[in-house]
Amino acid sequence: MEGDRDARGHIAVAGHVVAVADRGLEPQRSWVWDGVLDELEERVRWSRENRCLFEQRADFSLPRREGSCQAGRVI
């Protein structure tokens, strides 16, 4: 699914940013220090948990996948 690929890409980039930051290089060092990667991780988590808000469904009578949008509740 497109969103999963995007999330995996963000995670891969985050790993690269940490590796560069560990070498003391800017601006990656500041990004890590300022919590930018923590915010990215939170956004990826939220996107995965709320995927159903962005999916188009042809038949709305079908139950949602378990664990999707808090077990079917859109909040």
Tell me the C-alpha distance between 44 and 7, whole Å.
6
- Residues sharing a CB contact under 8 Å with residue 55, sequence separation 6 or more, in sequence order: none
Residue 68: pLDDT band (50, 70, 90) is: low
The domain locations on the chain are 2-55+65-72
pLDDT for the residue 59: 57
Residue 8: pLDDT band (50, 70, 90) is: confident
Q: How far is CA 17 from CA 25, 40, 60, in A?
A: 10, 12, 41
> Does residue 69 carry a pLDDT above 60?
yes
- Name the average pLDDT for the chain: 77
Q: Are 11 and 44 in contact (CB under 8 A)?
A: yes
**Count of H-run helices and E-run strands, the chain:** 4, 0
Least confident interval from 1-5, 43-47, 51-55: 1-5
Phi, psi of 24 (to 5 degrees): 85, 15
Stated pTM of the model: 0.58
DSSP state of 1: -
